[in-house]
Amino acid sequence: MTLPTPPISEFNEFELSSDLLSAVKNCAYQQPTLVQTQAIPAILLGKDVLAEAQTGSGKTAAYALPILEQLLRYRATPSEDQIRGNHIRYLILVPSRELANQVSQEFYQYSRDIMPKINIRSVYGGVEIEPQIKYLQQNTDILIATPQRILALAEKKAVQFNYLQSLVLDEVDRLIEDSFREPIEALFKLLPTQRQNLMFTATFPQQVRSLIRQVLYHPVVINIKQQSQEQIDQHVITTNPQDKVAVLYSLIQQYHWQPLLVFCSTKKACDQLATDLQQKGLNAVAIHGNKPQEERENRLMDFKHGKLAILIATDLAARGIDFINLPCVINYQLPRVPNDYLHRIGRTGRAGKAGLAISIISPLEYGHFNAIEKHLNITLEREQVKGFEVDEQAPIQPYKKSRKKAKKPLSKKRKQRQNNRKKQQKEGVALTNKQRENDIDPIAPSKKEKTSVWGQKNN
């Protein structure tokens, strides 16, 4: 895969300071990627941005570089001295601790030549909050945070947003998940309404669309098609459930991918697979949400630095984490939702490298994989490994169109009542059930339309 050639072909065509340009040069980036070409000028102009860009498209630099440039410009203004203590200027919200660390590293990398130093900090849960409260007192320019922890810090008045300039929502499609909803709603109430909003999402589910309407103000929309998915060589191997470990082991022996990332859908399966591969003499380790934060970070670093050959992980490693030299990703178990399949395979084939993604499925997963293919509009040939072919007698999971439960048949009495009501509604003399229960004016906008879930627009 090669990164697409954009109309702006040089970093020095952007209005970036020499310190930033030299840092980019040091990273050996030949030219800006498509998302960078479009996002950097818009962000520098102070516009809201909505970018549909996958991880691997260079999206972190697409917002990090203009944010650092904005900061340098503020430094040059006389009012800068007033902003001190625990006030922050830029807040980057990310869904995981791993991504928080990775984003901060990119910010460090791009700001390495800037003097005086720009203070970049990251905060996330799973570690003590007190040290974070202390270091937030020492002037933070850019804060990278997970939603729950930043809210906890804000509630303790350890961080203040009066001078917040820009808010970045990285991996929005994950930030809209239920577990983040409450903290983000509460956090939005604390943020100034006048701010720049930058949203980056790899996929575009319906909730993201409604969020966009609520948060963004006349955004510049950047749509980088999902090129890398097409350029990752995808395979599906079918086998019996009891032969999956053997198939994985035989593939590893044959192809010697290193490093290799293997995904399971449960923590238990990760641990079991790690044990199975270790018993076969392989250097494999599992990480998942039950492992202590420090251990997760250390194993990830080992993996990135080539000290660990096989990393087995739940979907916590599926998003945002950047593995530049990862030749192959294996789905040992399938992800629950199709979009996570894209995130998982997006760990390989990054920054111009070739990628290979293999799903090992048993007949019990056929229906699930068919649903993933249908959702992503792809069809992959089923392959087998010699010696581990599927039993012809094996029970097959059929492809289910919808998970909706079949409705119970109504009793005679209820059916009669329902028919009467339908008749009355047709004649315009009755309210619908929902209108009756909630006393809703049928012409007024729905509650959903009237109130914003994630706060007001900043107009």
Interface positions with ligand AMP (CB under 6 A):
3, 29, 32-33, 36, 55-61, 322, 324, 350-351
DSSP string covering 358-396, please? EEEE-GGGHHHHHHHHHHHT----EE--TT-PPPTT---
Buried residues in 310-335 as b, exposed as e (16+ CB within 10 A): bbbbbbbbbbbbbbeebbbbbbbbbb
Where is 173: in which H helix or E strand?
helix 172-175
**Nearest to residue 339, comparing CAs of 54, 33, 2, 3?**
54
CA–CA separation, 438 vs 440, rounded Å?
Answer: 5
Instruction: Scan for tokens 């991880």, then name that residue.
Output: 55
- The nearer residue to ligand AMP, 13 or 185, going by C-beta atoms, is 13
Beta strand residue intervals within 111-171, DSSP E: 120-123, 142-145, 166-170
Give the shortest CB-443-to-ligand AMP separation in angstroms.
46
277 three-state secondary structure: helix
CA dihedral 218, 220, 223, 224 (to 10 degrees): -160
Give the shortest CB-427-to-ligand AMP separation in angstroms.
58
How far, in whole angstroms, is CA 294 from its chain's centroid?
21
Instruction: Scan for tokens 């983000």, then name that residue.
Output: 184
Give the shortest CB-5-to-ligand AMP separation in angstroms.
11
Cis-peptide, bond into residue 259, ω within 30° of zero: yes
